[in-house]
Amino acid sequence: MVDIFATDKLRKAYPEYQQFIALHLYPLERQLLSIPFSEASAILEEKRTLARAMGLWAPYLPAEEGHIGLTMLEFAQISELLATTPYGHYVFNCQAPDIGNIELLHRHASDEQKQRYLKPLTEGAIRSCFSMTEPGHAGSNPLLMSTTAARDGDEWVINGRKWFTTAADGASFAVVMAITDTGTPKYERASMIIVPTNTPGFNLVRNIPVLGDTGDGYHSHSEIEYKDCRVPAANLLGAVGSGFRLAQERLGPGRIHHCMRWIGICERALDLMCRRAVERDMGDGQLLADKQTIQHWIAESRAEINASRYLVLHTAEMLDRLGAKAVRNEISAIKFFVADVLGKVLDRSVQAHGALGLTDATPLSYWYRHERGARIYDGPDEVHKSALARSVLKPYLNLQDQSVK
């Protein structure tokens, strides 16, 4: 917790989460990292039950609904803390993609949809997934999409193929992006539709291996075929043609969630690197910590993590005040900046641990495998850099046009 951004609510909640993680999650990591998630989930469910009982469940949801009701700025700091273990977000029902779907349904679902899907999702009784990326198109351009949803009486008929649908294995429903009208302007062609995963025509083809790790359950990314998959027309989320708008609304705060999670991972990786440095005897009367290279890695990591944190918290504070649209440039900046820092800090920590860093004796190997995608998902870094640069250059180009005239 950064004191200058602390509130009374945060000062009370932060130590409670900190103590919970230290007592109930860190000690389990070695055991859980060595078994499939389908086996780990039974152990984690006990911790989820405890989190509910302690009033720490889903702190980003409104206080009037029985939750802590944190702002984005407050939750960002809790999110960083939860990320210091691979299981923190899941235990408190703050994990992606569920948190994004919860926020989306909270704002745009009908009363019937809220009762059927949002309520059990919020309670942690079910999981969900978000089905958008397609193997046949560049994920960097969300307008390129082949999955269609055609209206047939009182039903939508969905056909297409998606992949890297995170946590689809075991999810109860998917929020699917599909083209519903090719004759409208390009940003109004897609819609979001809720599809229960037990619907005929929803076919989970496989869990995709990521750097050799296929995973299962929540810790997986699936390829899904939609083949004449029929759902009621009432499963439309929001208005017809609002899919891209809703996706951007979901992705803006989602990128802040990701960035604070990455910073939490960096903090734990730096902590592990420092512990290793002062414990490892190099056999010549020196510790690893005495080596100048290690000292430089630690110094660089400390500075980069601090810079990342303040950049993200500044963006979160602006989002709370001004809304997601007003902070598009800031969100682009934090996305590529923090993703880059994450890769550097993880790599240094793995290297400092030597061969041990490649094993599951620490969480480093898990994060190294699963977080390399940080520079790819939620918009590849190169796209965010170009978008930010165009925005920065725009007033200069306008001045140039005026001088020519």
Three-state SS for the chain is CCHHHCCHHHHHHHHHHHHHHHHHCHHHHHHHHCCCHHHHHHHHHHHHHHHHHCCCCCCCCCHHHCCCCCCHHHHHHHHHHHCCCCCHHHHCCCCCCHHHHHHHHHHHCCHHHHHHHHHHHHHCCCCEEEECCCCCCCCCCCCCCCCEEEEECCEEEEEEEEEEEECCCCCCEEEEEEECCCCCCHHHCEEEEEEECCCCCEEEEEECCECCECCECCECEEEEEEEEEEEEHHHEECCCCCHHHHHHHHHHHHHHHHHHHHHHHHHHHHHHHHHHHHHCECCCCCEHHHCHHHHHHHHHHHHHHHHHHHHHHHHHHHHHHHCHHHHHHHHHHHHHHHHHHHHHHHHHHHHHHHHHHHCCCCCHHHHHHHCHHHHCCCCCHHHHHHHHHHHHHHHHHHHHHHHHC
Which of 237, 263, 293 marks a domain boundary? Answer: 237
Q: Of 187, 220, 237, at which residue does a domain stop?
A: 237
Same structural domain for residues 261 and 228? no
295 and 202 in a common domain: no
pLDDT digit string, tens, across residues 75-115: 999 999 999 999 999 999 999 999 999 999 999 999 999 99
pLDDT at 214: 92
pLDDT band per the 50, 70, 90 thresholds, residue 159: very high
Q: Are 89 and 79 in contact (CB under 8 A)?
A: yes
Give dist(CA 401, CA 238) in Å, integer. 41
CATH of the domain at 359: 1.20.140.10
The domain tally of the chain equals: 3
Q: What's residue 177's pLDDT?
A: 96
Of the listed ranges 8-17, 243-252, 279-288, the least confidently predicted one is: 243-252
* pLDDT at res. 405: 60
Q: Reply yes or no on whether the pLDDT at 192 is more than 90.
A: yes
| pLDDT tens readout for residues 306-326 | 999 999 999 999 999 998 889
Do 82 and 160 lie in one domain? The reply is no
CA atoms within 13 A on the CB side of 177: 27
Please report whether residue 329 resides in a domain: yes
From 237, 265, 297, the end of a domain falls on 237
Cα-based torsion angle of the residue sequence 281, 284, 287, 292 in order, rounded to the nearest 10 degrees: -140
Segments forming the whole domain that contains residue 68: 3-95
Same domain, yes or no, for 231 and 249? Answer: no
More confident site: 140 or 339: 339
Task: With cut-offs at 50, 70 and 90, classify the pLDDT of residue 143.
Answer: confident
- Asked if residue 378 is part of any domain, the answer here is yes
Q: 404 falls in which pLDDT band (50, 70, 90)? A: low
Is residue 13 assigned to a domain? Answer: yes
Q: Which two tokens stand for residue 120?
A: 């059990």
> Is residue 108 a part of any domain in this protein?
no
Whether residues 259 and 300 share a domain: the answer is: yes
Report pLDDT digits (tens) over 352-403.
Answer: 999 999 999 999 999 999 999 999 988 899 999 999 999 999 999 887 777 6
In a shared domain, residues 265 and 212:
no
Kindly state the tokens that stand for 159.
Answer: 């056909």
The answer for residues whose C-beta is within 8 angstroms of residue 320's C-beta and 6 or more apart is: 71, 72, 73
Please indicate whether residue 356 or residue 248 has the higher confidence score (pLDDT).
356
Give the residue-averaged pLDDT of 239-244.
Answer: 94
Residue 31 within a domain: yes
**Same domain as 142, residue 189:** yes
Looking up residue 32, the CATH number of its domain turns out to be: 1.10.540.10
Tell me whether residue 253 is in a domain.
Answer: yes
Residue 266 lies in a domain: yes
374 within a domain of the structure (yes/no): yes
Q: What percent of the chain has pLDDT over 90?
A: 84
Q: Are 278 and 353 in contact (CB under 8 A)?
A: no
Q: Which residues pair with 150 in a beta bridge?
A: 157
182 pLDDT band, cuts 50/70/90, is: confident
Strands 173-179, 128-131: parallel, antiparallel or unpaired by DSSP? parallel
pLDDT number for residue 4: 73
Range 233-264 burial, b when 16+ CB lie within 10 A, else e: eebbbbebbbbbebbebbbbbbbbbbbbbbbb
Q: At what angle do helices 243-279 and 72-82 cross, to 10 degrees?
A: 40
**Cβ atoms of 312 and 2 closer than 8 Å:** no
Query: What pLDDT is recorded for position 359?
Result: 92
210 in the same domain as 82 = no
pTM confidence score = 0.93
In this structure, what CATH number is given to the domain that contains residue 191? 2.40.110.10
Looking at the fold, whether 359 and 276 belong to one and the same domain comes out as: yes
β-pairing verdict for 148-152 and 128-131: unpaired
Do residue 16 and residue 158 come from a single domain?
A: no
The pLDDT of residue 197: 98
- Looking at the fold, whether 39 and 167 belong to one and the same domain comes out as no
Q: Are 223 and 264 in a shared domain?
A: no
